[in-house]
Structure 1
Amino acid sequence: MTGPGDPPEGTPESAPGGGDDEYRSVVFDESFVRAAPLQEFSAQERIGDHTPAVRSRGGPRRRERGSPQQAVILVLLIAVAFATAVYMGIQRPYQKPTTRAAEPLRSTLVPLTPRGEVPGGAAADLYASSPARKFRIGAEGITLPAVERTAHFSDDQVREALGTAKEFLVHSALDADTLAGGDARAVRMLIDPDQLGQFDASLSRPADDGRHAATGWVMRFDPERVSLAKEPVRVRGSMRVTEVNSTALEVVADHTYVYAVRRAAAHAPRTDTPATGAAGTGDGRDLAEPVTVPGTGPHSLFTVRREARLRFDREDLRDHHVEVVESALQAGPQACATDAATYLQPLFAGQRAPADASAGTNPYATGRPTDSLCGVLAPDAQPSGTGRR
């Protein structure tokens, strides 16, 4: 029976409160049903031998966690990757890129023999009467050119190269300890570490092989044979800097050094040395002029022209090092046959160069070529107007 105001057929299903509205809160849509983790077996399936009434559908929660087998596989993959990385690190360890190794030094020395007797006198007079009178004193003679940046190096880097080059020249050619045959520690501190082995071998075991001459690195005299004057060394020359490539600068230093030397006390000739004999020159005069006081006597000038090629890579510029690539010397007066690998061997005042006693150069010989180079010291290079003492 309907109430007053209700249609005879009852409330339409489409009207509010009609039809299935009262069940709408318990009706599940299709997406909810698909997401359910459990599914009830159908009637046909329950006819079979199924104890449970439902079955798992592997819902999203289960898929997110993954199976234990997947976890084991992931752990194994990580372990294999780690083991591979360790193995490759042992077999092929990472090496920091290194710069080009420094070249070994190549050196030559050409002795300059005098045509006549070596002039002698007081050191100041010898300097004043020779071309060295226009030279500067000591390190003042090693002047630096104007600093200009290059394509790949700044002004500061060029300035550093020139400054280190001058420091090397001063310590290797003007330092008193170095000249007297000392250990040249100040020079060693400047040498590129790649060249230290060659440097040490050259000073401890000098050899005339173009690689291990001590005089290729430093100017030095035998202190038991040669005494240097108190008069300072005279120097003149030039320096120029160029960019070898994007990684290195090169400084070429071409200087002439003039030393005043005399015979050391340990090798001073005795006053009773005969005027003639086996050590004579053949003209009735002994090579060693007698002096009355051992260790004193006339000085003579010994001149060395050295062209040094010095290289600086970026590590050298940073660490204040230098690579001595080449050293070419011309030195005299000295005898052609003299071995000057260990010390420079000047002839003293009043001496003449003996006949060349070298074996010469054999172009048919095998192995390393042996050089027999010798030059003549021009008369104009000797002091003039000095007495022979």
Structure 2
Amino acid sequence: MAGRTDPPEGIPGGTPGAGDEEYQSTVFDESFVRAARLQEFSAQERLEDHTTAVRRREPEPAEGRTVPMQGIALALIILLAFAAAIYLGNNNPYDPPVRLNTDPPAADTVVLVPDDEVPGGVDAEAAFAGTPAAGYGIGAGGVHLPDPRATDHFSREQVLTALTLAKEYVVASALTPEVLGGDTVTPVRELLGAEQQRQFDSAMRGHGLQSVPTDWLIRFDPAEVALADGQVRVDGGFTFVETNDDTLQVTARHVLAYALRAAGTGDGAPASVAAFTVQRQLRLQFGREELRDRNVLLREVELLLGPMDCASDPSDALRPLLPGERAEAPAAAPVDPFALDGGRAVLCGVYAPLSDPREPAPVR
């Protein structure tokens, strides 16, 4: 088909060639070009009975909006992540930690009264000579831990953490010279959880209704006595047991031997140093929260203290008998059984250490 082909809509103005100048600089868009693209029949097809010389083109389907594959993949990933989060939230293998009861520690204190004058020595070595304390370990180095092993619900690492915290508490509360002298309580307080810290603070201020300072730590009255040797002798050990699925209990039982002298006296005074003995048993408990936060929970305290006068009050600070002193009569302070708001009654026993642990105790 040689020659010019008129537009489908006809010649503008109805006159051949009319309006050419108007469209000489016009650029038609692609939709117009597609609409104007005609398809001729072949020669054979044109011999057949057709009303037009060209095929009728069916309108092309409109292009639909397609979603890129990257978008579909991203949507699937988000959906899978959301489903996994819901599944893990509903099937969490780690239950929330069980909070242990944080009541103040239960405590029993027994004061041991000598039936004779308290002996003494010129120094700590002389004061401990002939007693089991002469062979004890010294300071924190004398506090030994057992081999940790896993329990049914606590790993070996958790047991080791509990034992280590128990040792730290023993060292802080019974072997640290600054605590023993009444200069500070911070090393002990830092090992307690928030609730027991409040109970501890009340006890230290003298406002504790259920506990007293010597339930939490060992300290001496600085107005009466002083340490003659900061190296405390210590013997004993630790045991541990799982009391239930969520609680690990550590028991610390030790004998602590202190060398003491009267406050204000110097070294070298003849027979001025006395040996003072404390047998102390602590029951400490640990849940997973305590192990995570590295806190101890003090449950029970048992103390044997001597030589002391049973008439003295051991609740705030200890006042041991020094060389040459005797216990005053009566052997114990009077107790009013009708006073519900009275202080804790002091239990008394007889201070009778064996000079040689292999020697049998005398029969009384």
Structure 2 residue aligned with 1:160: 161
**Contact conserved, 1:110 with 1:373, CA < 8 A, in 2?**
yes
Structure 2 residue aligned with 1:151: 152
Structure 1 residue aligned with 2:110: 110
Q: Distance in 1 between matches of 2:113 and 2:353?
A: 11
Matched, 1:301 2:270: no
Q: Distance in 1 between matches of 2:201 and 2:306?
A: 26
**Contact conserved, 2:285 with 2:299, CA < 8 A, in 1?**
yes
CA pair 372-360 structure 1, distance change in 2 beyond 3 A: farther
- Offset of residue 310 of structure 1: 0.4
**Contact conserved, 2:112 with 2:306, CA < 8 A, in 1?**
yes
Structure 2 residue aligned with 1:351: 325
- Offset of residue 367 of structure 1: 6.3
- Offset of residue 381 of structure 1: 5.7
**Contact conserved, 1:103 with 1:323, CA < 8 A, in 2?**
no
CA pair 301-206 structure 1, distance change in 2 beyond 3 A: farther
Q: Partner amino acid for 1:262?
A: R
**Contact conserved, 1:332 with 1:377, CA < 8 A, in 2?**
yes
Percent identical residues: 41
- Offset of residue 373 of structure 1: 1.1
Q: Distance in 1 between matches of 2:151 and 2:345?
A: 38
Q: Distance in 2 between matches of 1:294 and 1:141?
A: 25
Secondary structure at the aligned position of 2:354 is classed as: helix
**Structure 2 unaligned spans of 5+:** 1-95, 358-364
Aligned counterparts, 1:312-351, within 5 A: 312-351=286-325
Secondary structure at the aligned position of 1:380 is classed as: coil
TM-score scaled to structure 1, two decimals? 0.62
- Offset of residue 343 of structure 1: 0.5
**Structure 1 unaligned spans of 5+:** 1-95, 269-292, 384-389
Q: Partner amino acid for 1:104?
A: P
**Contact conserved, 1:124 with 1:231, CA < 8 A, in 2?**
no
CA pair 300-367 structure 1, distance change in 2 beyond 3 A: closer
Aligned counterparts, 1:25-64, within 5 A: none
- Offset of residue 228 of structure 1: 0.3
- Offset of residue 362 of structure 1: 5.1
Aligned counterparts, 1:181-196, within 5 A: 181-196=182-197
Q: Distance in 2 between matches of 1:118 and 1:176?
A: 23
CA pair 143-206 structure 1, distance change in 2 beyond 3 A: farther
TM-score scaled to structure 2, two decimals? 0.66
- Offset of residue 294 of structure 1: 9.9
Secondary structure at the aligned position of 2:347 is classed as: coil
Q: Distance in 2 between matches of 1:190 and 1:201?
A: 16
Structure 2 residue aligned with 1:377: 351
Structure 2 residue aligned with 1:139: 140
Secondary structure at the aligned position of 1:254 is classed as: strand
**Contact conserved, 1:299 with 1:349, CA < 8 A, in 2?**
yes
Q: CA RMSD in A?
A: 2.5
- Offset of residue 143 of structure 1: 0.9
Matched, 1:228 2:227: yes
CA pair 222-296 structure 1, distance change in 2 beyond 3 A: farther
Q: Distance in 2 between matches of 1:212 and 1:372?
A: 14
**Contact conserved, 1:206 with 1:341, CA < 8 A, in 2?**
no
- Offset of residue 359 of structure 1: 4.6
CA pair 221-363 structure 1, distance change in 2 beyond 3 A: closer
- Give the paired residue count: 260
Matched, 1:252 2:255: no
